[in-house]
Amino acid sequence: MDDSGCSRSVAVRVERRRVRVWFGEHVVADYRAEAELAERYAEAMSRRFAGLRVTSEPLPEHDPGPERRLPGERLWEVAPK
């Protein structure tokens, strides 16, 4: 709250990164998280898969990423039995 009694919200921008593990030109792992978690993941993947390339890139501010929900419509005509 400020002196006038009004509360002010402050937008905090959290940097998010995308970490990918590559086998040649194929992505075998794709992870998106806040910068600190992404860095830990990249280090762990580099140790585990020492021969593979691991990249870490900043994500755009409005990236829907893998967290986006599946569409709400019905995907099949017949329900599984």
* Alpha carbon distance, N-terminus to C-terminus of the chain: 57
Encode the chain (81 residues) as per-residue pLDDT tens digits.
556 666 666 666 778 999 999 999 999 999 999 999 999 999 999 999 999 999 999 998 776 665 555 455 555 666 666
Provide the pLDDT for residue 14: 77
**Helical residues (DSSP H) of 4-77, grouped into ranges:** 35-48
The tokens of 76 are what?
């099949």
In this structure, what DSSP letter does residue 67 have?
T
The model scores a pTM over 0.75: no
Provide the pLDDT for residue 13: 72
